[in-house]
Structure 1
Amino acid sequence: MKDKRAGELNNLEGFDNLDLISTTANWNKFNAVATLGLIHRGDESNALNLLDTYLRKGEPDQFGYLQGGALYAYGLIHINHSNPDVIAYFCEQLELATTASVRHGACLGFGVAALGTCNEKAYKQLYQALYRDDAVVGEAAGTAMGLVMAASLDKRAFDEMVQYISNTDHDKIQRGLRTGLALLAYGRMEEVEPWVTKLLKAKSNDVLRQTAVCMLAMAYAGSGKAEVVRRLLAKVAADPNPDVKRFAVIAVGFVLSKLVF
């Protein structure tokens, strides 16, 4: 078995990322390039050189999947280590982007680079991208807004994101905002209760109730609070929407994570 494993590893020697990416198509191109951000995470001084092939020179890619993936990778390399130059770079890329896939990658990259910084410039730029009301761009922008404002329980962000969920007909954008709103609540525990109560009262809007459950999951993640688990199980039993039930079950896992039985 060891000899077989060694042979497999030897076959990978000299493997060029370009070989793999050249065989992929569309969003697979995006994902393949984006993984380079995880491989090279922290190599900030060399980030643009590492991604240069996909950002500037690569094979013709009229829909921008390579460039979008590279922008996401650039953000992952700088995850939670953004500086004014990185913020300015992503603002410029969002302004210059001409396709939805490039904007999608720029939003996600922006979000992870500015994770938890509550950077006003980043939030405003992502908010503008959200208001393009494009499903692909809006999904990423909604998530990224939550990444930038993670754990902040920022009331303005909460109100704006909830309002957009209510106004848009794009389910992808609603999903992105649902994730973003959950991130606002990370680790805030009891502080999130007034917001959750408000969302749970939205009897005619399933997505807002799903968001409430996701916010509970993030607010109490790892706390093991029995009362929160009881409330989530009650939603599993009583809510008429299957997605609310599904997220409530997942939320129980978040609340009980890190516990040793």
Structure 2
Amino acid sequence: MRPSFAFSKFTVWLLCVGMLLGCQKSQEQAQETNQVPTEEQAVENGYKVIAIKDGDTVELLKDGKPLRVRLQGVDCPEKNQDYGTRARQFTSDLVFGKFVQLVVQDVDRYGRTVGEIILPDGRSLNQELVKNGFAWHYTAYSKDQELARLEAEARAEKRGLWEGPSPQAPWEFRQSRRGNSANAANTKSDNSGSSSKKTSSSGATAIAKGGKVHICQSKGSKTFHVYSNCSLLERCKSSKAAITLAQANREKRTPCKSCAD
């Protein structure tokens, strides 16, 4: 009877130890679950920021697809402006890789969602950019009094971009660049037009002076040439001839695009 009793005590001891270890493991797993949220919990808490395009434009992961968001009421310096890179870095430090809330306001003409980003601690990214001098209050699209107040405060304290003597608003910067591009395009167009007019004038003068145009007498030829040394005319494998422009018109010939334009 004694060995049997000893065995029973040992069995009970093993069961107790097993239960204690099981409880400890369950507690550890529960702590890990509380510290690291599951994907489902994370989605419920907001959207993950997967890309920073610039200071006021980010991409969120929504339904497995990237969603581009333009921050409402703020305008950060462009990349080529002072503080453009710093503004982007400021936004990245606050939200990249984190789960944030999105308050949708609108969809702009580029198809971007326009709204407010709420940080994990409850602060507004839009307001933080203006407050710290990394963005203007975009008054053309916003009448938000809090953003106006934060900009005035940042200006007074010379925070961020306001430490400079005369920072240029990004919308003015973009407009100046568009103006320069338009001027360059107009200049190119004018130069192209002048060249075209010059060529046409030269062709007309050549016809007027010589009174003749040149043709290839092949059966399929339907053009005339202003110059006898035109590269297209030189490809003619039949005989060539010089005729009057009136005669070429009667034959319903069209000007060579290479030398008569």
- The TM tier, using the shorter chain, reads under 0.3
More strand by share: 2
TM-score scaled by length of structure 1: 0.23
More helix by share: 1
> Greater CA radius of gyration, 1 or 2?
2
